[in-house]
Amino acid sequence: MRYVKSADGLKLAYDVQGQGAPLLCLPGLTRNMDDFEPILAAFAHRAQVIRLDFRGRGASDWGDPASYQVPVEAADVVALLDHLGLDRVTILGTSRGGLVALVMAAVARARIAGVIFNDIGPEIMPEGLAYIMDYLGKPPKFRTLAEAAAALPHHYAPAFRDVPEANWAALARNIYREEGGRLVNRYDPALRAAVAPAFAPDAVAPDLWPLFDALAAAPMGLIRGAGSNILSVETAAEMRRRRPDMAYAELADRGHVPFLDEPAAIDVIATVLERSI
Alpha-carbon distance of 51 to 261, in angstroms, equals 16
Sheet holding 11-17, edge to edge: 2-5, 11-17, 47-52, 21-26, 89-94, 112-118, 220-225, 247-251
- Own/partner contacts of 146-155, CB < 8 Å, gap of 24 or more, are 146/172, 148/172, 148/176, 148/183
Sequential pLDDT tens for the chain (277 residues): 899 999 999 999 999 999 999 999 999 999 999 999 999 999 999 999 999 999 999 999 999 999 999 999 999 999 999 999 999 999 999 999 999 999 999 999 999 999 999 999 999 999 999 999 999 999 999 999 999 999 999 989 999 999 999 999 999 999 999 998 899 999 999 999 999 998 888 889 999 999 999 999 999 999 999 999 999 999 999 999 999 999 999 999 999 999 999 999 999 999 999 999 8
Q: What is the model's pLDDT at position 136? A: 96
Q: What's the start-to-end Cα distance of the chain, in Å?
A: 27
| Separation of alpha carbons 21 and 230, rounded Å | 30
At residue 146, φ and ψ (nearest 5 deg) are -65, -40
Q: Are 122 and 235 in contact (CB under 8 A)?
A: yes
SS3 state of residue 31: coil
User: How high is the pLDDT of residue 202?
Assistant: 86
Whole-number pLDDT of residue 19: 95
DSSP of 103-128? HHHHH-GGGEEEEEEES--SS--HHH
pTM of the model: 0.97
The pLDDT of residue 181 is: 87
The pLDDT value recorded for residue 67 is 98
> What pLDDT score does 201 carry?
84
Residue 12's contacts (CB-CB under 8 Å, 6 or more residues apart) are 3, 4, 5, 6, 52, 53, 54, 55, 60, 61, 76, 79, 80
- Which residue ranges form the domains of the chain, and what is each CATH number? 2-125+206-276 (3.40.50.1820)
pLDDT reported for residue 200: 86
SS3 state of residue 257: coil
pLDDT (0 to 100) of residue 31: 98
Q: Which helix (H) or strand (E) holds 192?
A: helix 191-199
